[in-house]
Amino acid sequence: MTTAILEHLSTLSVSGQQLRRLPKILENGLPKMPCTVPETDVPQLFREPYIHTGYRPTGHRWRYYFLSLFQKHNEVVNVWTHLLAALAVLLRFWAFAEAEALPWASASTLPLLIYVLSSITYLLFSVLAHLLQSQSELSHYTFYFVDYVGVSIYQYGSALVHFFYTSDQGWYEHFWLFFLPAAAFCGWLSCAGCCYAKYRYQKPYPVMKKICQVVPSGLAFILDISPVAHRVALCHLAGCQEQAAWYHTLQILFFLVSAYFFSCPVPEKYFPGSCDIVGHGHQLFHVFLSICTLSQLEAILLDYQGRQEIFLQRHSPLSVYVACLSFFLLTACSTTTAALLRRKVKARLMKKES
């Protein structure tokens, strides 16, 4: 028996020489990756202020850009922050669903499911945008338009759960009638504003581009967060003991920090060329927005657990179904808007090439 075991183990053993050859074997088995290039070697469209190196060359096959997930370049941190956040959202929700024996078919669960779907969607659309936008000018516009659709979807998914699970009775009595229609309109406006600004303004971007992006998105945030802000303010004035309210507070704080880094090219403005791969403002925006989303998820799960009685008193199954159906209507409207502007971009690029 011992002899047989030793013989079997010998067939599984790997010599030191084979181990030394393993990196070379793996290297030969993977496609060669083009080196990153400085900003002078990519078109103006792909250049970012104060980021001098780490750009991926354009015009390669799609396989290269997918595999650049494992390459060092100035977008890789943006990709991984939201990819890991999407995985964290999925795993946290799955653990919650198993622990709570979540009633998947119940109307009371539907807003939560849509919120989780919208969170994962915006994170993965962001991953696609930062991973694949360097392939060509049309790809750049296309995938950033996809990113803006994801943001719109997430904004309205957040509005749904804030309305159904989080809102305080005083806020609900004043705003229940128009909150969701207004949130849907602001979500579409956010997508339309970002897509139009991307289409309309060329680099170097004027301030108006940032205004077209930030103002609609800011309005959507102010509206969507209003039930949360009202409840958090009342809770803290009363010496807050609610765990969910503290997570909501963190959600607001982390979002405001992320908005700062989205709007301002900091710290790369003060250290040009030093933050190209790690540490520039958009990466910090991604990090804080991911933490914001995870804080929000924890708060919503606690609200879902602890406020079911309030939910059932306020909402009939029909009203929930109608509200959640509007989510898919918003998705269709935002997607259509992005597709129409992409068509205009394609026509402009074809005209430039002819």
Helix runs in the chain, H state only: 2-12, 16-29, 62-67, 76-100, 110-132, 137-161, 169-175, 179-200, 207-237, 243-263, 281-306, 308-314, 317-353
Q: How far apart are CA 48 and CA 39, in angstroms?
A: 8
The 10s digit of each residue's pLDDT in 52-71 is 999 999 999 999 999 999 99
Residue 2: pLDDT band by 50, 70, 90 thresholds? very low
Is residue 34 scored above 70 in pLDDT? yes
pLDDT for the residue numbered 4: 47
Residue 146: pLDDT band by 50, 70, 90 thresholds? very high
| 73 assigned to a ligand binding site | no
Work out the average pLDDT over 235-240: 87
Q: Give the Cβ contact number of residue 346 at 10 Å.
A: 14
pLDDT for the residue numbered 21: 63
| 282 assigned to a ligand binding site | yes
Is residue 19 scored above 50 in pLDDT? no
Q: Which of 198, 186, 159, 128 shows the shortest CA–CA distance to 333?
A: 186
**pTM reported for the whole predicted model:** 0.91
Residue ranges of domains in the chain, CATH in brackets? 69-353 (1.20.1070)
Report cis status (omega within 30 of 0) of the bond before 267: yes
The 10s digit of each residue's pLDDT in 244-259 is 999 999 999 999 999 9
Q: Give the Cβ contact number of residue 215 at 10 Å.
A: 13
Query: 249 to each of 164, 185, 189, 245, 310, how far by Cα in Å?
Result: 18, 25, 26, 6, 21
pLDDT for the residue numbered 216: 94
Task: Tell the residue number behind the tokens 């028996």, with chain if given.
Answer: 1
Question: Are the beta carbons of 300 and 166 closer than 8 angstroms?
Answer: yes
Among residues of the chain, what percentage have pLDDT more than 70? 91
The 10s digit of each residue's pLDDT in 306-340 is 999 999 999 999 999 999 999 999 999 999 999 99
The 10s digit of each residue's pLDDT in 181-230 is 999 999 999 999 999 999 999 887 888 988 999 899 999 999 999 999 99
| 52 assigned to a ligand binding site | no
Report cis status (omega within 30 of 0) of the bond before 204: yes
The 10s digit of each residue's pLDDT in 94-115 is 999 999 999 999 999 999 999 9
pLDDT for the residue numbered 29: 56
